[in-house]
């Protein structure tokens, strides 16, 4: 199966991006410019203070990946992009019949912040991007202050 660029990225609508801004404000602040959303629901963004950052919505990690947009675009053509976009995993998801509709991304059954949360076909399902951003942002905000290895019970309310 030959992957296309559209297999590796997602295109959330304004409502989903607004949900991301609200749900992840605690970690990324108010002022950012989205550059790219991955099929796994992560976001690369330009910060007003400068630089391009990667928001990993599975682990609540923010990493500076480039000094500017041009440098980021150049990196997308290099091997590092495989670490960001996980084409092998995306291909396996598609081969398993887990396809995404417009405005959807993959989300985790168990977040990768937990020991059991692996980057596997069995642990990922397509959902609307808005739902992914709200759920991951809310859960990971609540876990942010806990020490590594803490036992938690999570109750999801709709």
pLDDT value, residue 142: 85
Mean pLDDT, the chain, integer: 92
The DSSP secondary-structure symbol of 39 reads T
Residue-wise pLDDT tens digits, 72-88? 999 999 999 999 999 99
φ and ψ of 61, to 5 deg:
-110, 140
Decide if pLDDT at 150 tops 70: no
pLDDT of 149 reads 64
Place of tokens 């630089």: 51
Q: Which of 120, 102, 99 is nearest to 111 (CA)?
A: 120
Tell me what the mean pLDDT of segment 99-127 comes to. Answer: 95
Residue 49's pLDDT is what? 81
**What is the C-alpha to C-alpha distance for residues 106 and 10, in angstroms, rounded to an integer?**
9
- Rounded (10°) CA dihedral 49, 52, 54, 60: -10
How much is the pLDDT for 146?
Answer: 61
Q: What is the pTM of this model?
A: 0.90
pLDDT tens column, 54-75: 999 999 999 999 999 999 999 9
Distance, CA of 96 to CA of 74 (rounded, Å):
31
């Amino acid at each position: 199966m030959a992957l296309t660029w559209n297999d590796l990225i997602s295109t959330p609508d304004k409502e989903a991006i607004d949900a991301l801004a609200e749900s992840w404000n605690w970690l990324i602040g108010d002022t950012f410019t989205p550059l790219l959303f991955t099929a796994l629901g992560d976001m690369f963004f330009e910060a007003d203070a400068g630089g391009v950052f990667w928001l990993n919505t599975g682990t609540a990690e923010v990493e500076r990946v480039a000094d500017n947009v041009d440098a980021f675009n150049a990196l997308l053509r290099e091997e590092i992009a495989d670490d960001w976009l996980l084409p092998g995993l995306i291909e396996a998801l598609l081969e398993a019949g887990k396809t995404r509709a417009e405005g959807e991304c993959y989300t985790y059954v168990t977040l990768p912040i937990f020991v059991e949360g692996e980057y596997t076909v069995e642990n990922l399902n397509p959902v609307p991007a808005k739902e992914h951003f709200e759920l991951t942002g809310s859960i990971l905000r609540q876990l942010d202050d806990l020490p590594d290895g803490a036992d938690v019970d999570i109750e999801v309310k709709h």
